[in-house]
Structure 1
């Protein structure tokens, strides 16, 4: 998956469902994607938070998007969290975590977001191994980029990453079912299950109607233990090759 910024709980359900998770930053950067923003709930409703970047462009890959090293935007973001969640029931157990993530000094967005993901995974007690972009052979991309069919590029990238880490299954969110085909994976001895979050069950467990916001919101409002329980509110859907 792309390295999202403080992603929603479904992202962590996916991490929790696998043995190895790869936040991969050699994909093209998409403006207004979850890589560079997320949503929290303030006094006046839902609003976006964004790490400040330099030279962000869809012509670059995520790993080449630089993070602004200045602390001004970090102070502003942390202040926004304070204003939004100063009276939240579980704020006391999460301030240090959020401060550590927000103020982390990383040169690029890939590294910055992956650090945050790792910190939250540890905070939730998820035991999945998290690899980084640097752990995947850079030789994969020249081969992938030489393919003319976008679907083949996307699927070949995934199967070659699986080969590089000796993975026999690739789990993708159910929302991506139209992007991947078992006909590509089965001949390569790889299965292709999809994970479908049950957001209604998640909202009930977390006792919040805003379970689809950033994991930071859910941590503040529902706490770590309820989030750990909500990780199981999902289903793995197997796929079959087309007839």
Structure 2
């Protein structure tokens, strides 16, 4: 019998995402990577921001401009970007309180031979979720064998995993057919990202929309307090 998951989210994998991405993962019982969809260049799939003395800076994986590929088909044969990214992170976070303790994390992220963008992102997100103490289960839409377009396919995936509630990113309001969720008897909720608490970054002024690495390198094991635990105190 198919396992039943109450709350489910379905989202494309991103490169070392911001803390809101992990807040969404924490909200659900099952998180489904949705990487068998169109790759979009210069998006969160292959880049994110980190803090520098000049403010937030893009850190981009050289994934090319082939917009005919699915995310899961994107390959990066030139692996030099990994050491470049690690060097940039270590340089800009050399004064961060937890940079030394985070070396095993940086080893995990940048000392590997993975060339597929989706494989890289998913592996990193699962590992970062473990570090944050997230108990959510993960799977990949490719493993579920559901075809279709847009909302119809989402409904098919949700029915396959026995979802009762779908938590969607807020931008999906523009294209989701909400009536199909009513017909399927699946509750639809939109994730509203709050004004997360600030913390001491290596540089000022404070920038909230940066990679989760910024939070981990600056506050270490206290990271969950700045993502979801602070809400318990309200």
What is the TM-score when the length of structure 1 is the normalising length? 0.82
Q: Identify, as 1 or 2, the structure richer in helix.
A: 1
C-alpha contact 1:104 1:112 (8 A) present in aligned 2: no
Which position in structure 2 is the counterpart of 1:7? Answer: 17
Distance 1:27 1:190 in 2: 23
Which position in structure 2 is the counterpart of 1:203? Answer: 197
Distance 1:161 1:179 in 2: 17
- Equivalent pairs counted in the alignment come to 217
* Helix, strand or coil at the partner of 2:12: coil
C-alpha contact 1:101 1:119 (8 A) present in aligned 2: no
Distance 2:32 2:105 in 1: 22
CA offset digits 1:178-198 (Å, max 9, x no partner):
332431201011110111121
CA apart distance, 1:28: 0.1
Which position in structure 2 is the counterpart of 1:61? Answer: 70
**Equivalent in 211, 215, 231 of residue 214 of structure 1:** 211
Do the aligned partners of residues 88 and 207 (structure 1) sit closer, same or farther apart at CA in structure 2, a change above 3 Å counting? closer
Distance 2:230 2:65 in 1: 34
**Equivalent in 159, 163, 166 of residue 162 of structure 2:** 166
Report whether the alignment pairs 1:84 with 2:92: yes
Please list every run of 5 or more consecutive structure 1 residues that lacks an aligned counterpart in the other structure.
145-152, 236-243
* Helix, strand or coil at the partner of 1:167: coil
**Equivalent in 183, 187, 199 of residue 183 of structure 2:** 187
Distance 1:193 1:233 in 2: 21
Do the aligned partners of residues 82 and 128 (structure 1) sit closer, same or farther apart at CA in structure 2, a change above 3 Å counting? same
- Larger RCO of the pair (alpha carbons < 8 Å, separation 6+): 2
Which position in structure 2 is the counterpart of 1:231? Answer: 227
Please list every run of 5 or more consecutive structure 2 residues that lacks an aligned counterpart in the other structure.
1-10
* Helix, strand or coil at the partner of 2:159: helix
CA apart distance, 1:61: 0.5
CA apart distance, 1:133: 4.0
Report whether the alignment pairs 1:127 with 2:124: no
**Equivalent in 28, 40, 54 of residue 30 of structure 1:** 40
C-alpha contact 1:196 1:234 (8 A) present in aligned 2: no
CA offset digits 1:108-161 (Å, max 9, x no partner):
111110001001000000000011244221xx23xx2xxxxxxxx221121111
Distance 1:109 1:62 in 2: 7
Distance 1:58 1:127 in 2: 34
Which position in structure 1 is the counterpart of 2:118? Answer: 110
C-alpha contact 1:56 1:66 (8 A) present in aligned 2: no
The 4+ residue runs of structure 1 with deviation greater than 3 A are none
* Helix, strand or coil at the partner of 2:176: coil
What is the root-mean-square deviation of aligned Cα atoms in Å?
2.0
